[in-house]
Amino acid sequence: MQRNADRTRTRILAAATEEFAARGIAGARVNRIAEVAGCNKAMLYAYFGSKDGLFDAVYTAAVDTYLAEVGFDTADLPGYAGRVFDYFEEHPEHQRLNIWYRLERPDGTALEAIVAVNKSRLGDLDQAQRSGVVPGNFTPIELLALLQAIATSWSSMNPEYGASAPSRASRREAVVEAVRRLLSS
Amino acid sequence: MQRNADRTRTRILAAATEEFAARGIAGARVNRIAEVAGCNKAMLYAYFGSKDGLFDAVYTAAVDTYLAEVGFDTADLPGYAGRVFDYFEEHPEHQRLNIWYRLERPDGTALEAIVAVNKSRLGDLDQAQRSGVVPGNFTPIELLALLQAIATSWSSMNPEYGASAPSRASRREAVVEAVRRLLSS
């Protein structure tokens, strides 16, 4: 029984990830998610409480996977930016979840997973600056904002650029080089 | 009569800007826009054709205003980034329109205004690189992508940062300094 319950939960999360990435929180339809997951709406609400609760579960799972995959290494921030770039190239649906989240929850409803990791990274950057591993040109929070913006620079471009986009390898190298320059003394 | 028609059109655009910025294309309600603008739906459709046509008019007007205000100057790209930063600090609704546009029209439906200005800027950057005004570390399209990402780095952050955001002046200086570093030889 437990394994069946886990499988149902996993199927709901997969269907909900696709639906939320395509349509956002307001636009997502719980009926459609239940149908794709092969369960009924009552079961979905039993697991996740509400559509907002389901979005939080989907987004938290996506953030956890992202954090585990890209890691964070103050001794090699250009390499970190390259991994973030790779992650969003390979998971465009995660980038869409990020953007819906910012649009539809502009005032925060902060996710614990993000709050905790930001705090930890800001502490790491502060420590790395104190010990001279990272130059002190920017405050930790400004550096983190710039790193994330540069690493996702292409995915946040206007769709009008699409046709003339350089190769993935070339865009990746531009991202890594931009972070190198950010840190040069 | 002509002046009345212009005023109606202006009122519809203002109401639609607010509605689209808050709710996006799919979420916007034409009824609500007409009500706020003090006209009826038939009149709105007579002016703009459809909800999508109205969004295009709103977004094109926003892009035109933005382009006129920030300009583009290959001889001072850090200054340009600072002006882009200022513009989106002062017009958060425009940044929301940008993001909805990317989410809801991921495959482009390219806006002529953007296509034309991108082409012109890429030409300017290419020329500035050939004449040595701008270093050739990045291709024009990569440089433009990085400039825009850095200039809007703060507005694209996760809402979890909000409470600990540095002052506007400090964030602006970080943006300008990041672009200076991008261009250093």
Q: Which of B158, B170, B173, B180 to mutate to test the interface with A (most CBs of A within 10 A)?
A: B158
Residues in B closer than 8 angstroms to A24, CB to CB, are 24, 103
Q: Which residues of A touch B98 (CB under 8 A)?
A: 158
Q: For residue B102, what are the CA distances in angstroms to A99, B18, B25, B49? A: 9, 18, 11, 22
In this predicted structure, what is the pLDDT of residue B84? 94
pLDDT at A72: 93
What domains can be seen in chain A, in order of their start residue? Answer: 56-183 (1.10.357.10)
- Helix, strand, coil content of chain A in percent (nearest 5): 80, 0, 20
- CA separation for the pair B174, B182 (Å, rounded): 12
Whole-number percent of chain A with pLDDT over 90: 64
The rounded mean pLDDT for chain B is 88
ipTM greater than cut 0.95:
no
As a whole number of angstroms, the distance between CA B81 and CA B73 comes to: 10
Q: Average pLDDT, whole number, for chain A?
A: 88
Least Cα distance to B87 among B175, B182, B178 occurs for B175
pLDDT for the residue A4: 80
Report CA Rg, chain A.
19
Distance from CA of B4 to the nearest CA of A (A): 35
Q: Which residues in chain A have their CB less than 8 angstroms from residue B160's CB?
A: 108, 110-111, 114-115, 118
Under the phi-then-psi rule, with left for phi > 0, alpha for psi from -120 to 50, and beta for the rest, what region is A29?
beta
Question: Out of A27, A101, A182, whose CB is closest to B181?
Answer: A182
> What number is the average pLDDT over the span A159-172?
78
